[in-house]
Structure 1
Amino acid sequence: MTILPWLAGTLALTAVSEDVPVFELLPEAQQTRLAACGVDAGELSRLLELKQRPFDQDFEGGWREIAGRDGCRLAAADAIESYMLFARPYGPEHTKILRWHAGQMYAYEQRTDKAIAYFRATYDDVESVAFPGPEWNLYVDATLAFLRGDYDALVAARDELAVQPVPEERKESRRKMLADNPNMTMPEGFIDAPMNLNVVKGLVDCFGKPYSQAYGSCEKDE
């Protein structure tokens, strides 16, 4: 697991007695943010006991519930960081998505340096990872370019992502998902589009606006 600079020194804490609640091992600033968002020692322990899927994907019981509270995105990042350090996520692919989500929390709060560090730590080795491989890396390229204010690099990443082939089995999986969920609304062209292309188009259309607006909610100026 790649350890980001500000987390490296914290690893020594994992060797302390299990009798000490993880909450008490965190820096004071993290404890303060978590407590202000309703996460005390007991709640953090509950979160760390979750399997990774409910911790990462459950909107009512994992880090996303924290992020949904007013002013609590940084506390959500604290929870994700704690999970990566103390819950031992299984496999590099699963750690990758936690890093991405931590980066998003920092990007939403315009903590750009930390966001970039986390996003950069999610690149795939395309020679060893068949999926999503190039699509994911181009998504990372585009997001980093947006945060750095590099419009040309952002457009280049979008254009390269747009021509990536989409396997037929993925298209069929998407068709089935829509058929099984008739109330689900997806962007036009969803079935045939490379992964995250619609998000990247939004970053291009809303270039110069905060990530919190450009990601998923910003409309192109006419």
Structure 2
Amino acid sequence: MILLSLLASALLGQAAPTGCVQPDAAMLALPLQEFDQTPAGWRSLDAEGCEAVGAEAIARYREVNRDMLANEDIGTLIWHEGQLRAAAGQTDEAITLMLEGRNGESEATQPYVDATVAFLRRDREALLAARERLLDLPVPDYFAVAAERYRVNYPDLPPLVWPLNLDKVDGFIACFDRPYRDAYNCDPEGNAP
């Protein structure tokens, strides 16, 4: 607990844009699910202009909790940190993080990682090639059951469709010349985040 307090104090002492919520010791002590998937964790820090604060919170969380995290948990956190660094304009750091976790990803996720990295590198040809690999993925046997479970658990969210993340990749293509945050939220039909 003392270590958590010291780490939180150090994190709180870092300069951040005015108005950014700062993580505290309680946030860094949350169970993984709460830290990663609820507004009590890093998602509460993901305001426009404050992405670097959220990325640093994830990096600290990984450091503080490294003995309790499984490899797949670390991979998810690395991906989310990479996304926040991309949104913060820390492109090289984002690419490094995203590629660090790529080989641990499933075959269904690797083309999405490749598309994201291609977008960040401003490599349209590689982005389009990754999209084609994503489209070529066969629908796994378990997908219908997983999609139904998702629909039941998250009735207010759009349903899962195969291939996963195709909408994000299409947004990267439609808003290719825009910053990552805009392109990630880009509607391929309307081209507006």
Shift of 1:124: 2.5
Which residue does the alignment assign to 2:122?
149
Shift of 1:170: 1.5
Change (3 A) 1:173 1:49: same
Which residue does the alignment assign to 1:197?
166
Where 1:81 maps in the other structure, the secondary structure is helix
Contact 1:34–1:78 at 8 Å: present in 2 too? no
Distance 1:98 1:176 in 2: 23
1:62 aligns with 2:41: yes
| TM-score, length basis structure 2 | 0.85
Aligned AA for 2:6?
P
Distance 1:106 1:85 in 2: 17
Distance 1:205 1:19 in 2: 43
Shift of 1:121: 1.1
How many equivalent residue pairs? 189
Where 1:195 maps in the other structure, the secondary structure is coil
Where 2:89 maps in the other structure, the secondary structure is coil
Aligned AA for 1:162?
L
Distance 1:161 1:46 in 2: 39
Which residue does the alignment assign to 1:119?
98
Task: Provide structure 1 residue ranges, at least 5 long, that are not aligned to the other structure.
Answer: 1-16, 126-131
Contact 2:49–2:88 at 8 Å: present in 1 too? no
1:48 pairs, out of 28, 46, 52, with 28
Distance 1:169 1:204 in 2: 29
Contact 1:103–1:118 at 8 Å: present in 2 too? yes
Which residue does the alignment assign to 2:7?
22
Shift of 1:178: 2.3
User: Which of structures 1 and 2 has the bigger CA Rg?
Assistant: 1
Task: Provide structure 2 residue ranges, at least 5 long, that are not aligned to the other structure.
Answer: none
The 5 A counterparts of 1:157-196 are 157-179=130-152, 181-186=154-159, 190-191=160-161, 193-196=162-165
Cα-Cα RMSD: 2.6
Aligned AA for 1:37?
C
Where 1:177 maps in the other structure, the secondary structure is helix
Aligned AA for 2:36?
D
Contact 1:206–1:220 at 8 Å: present in 2 too? no
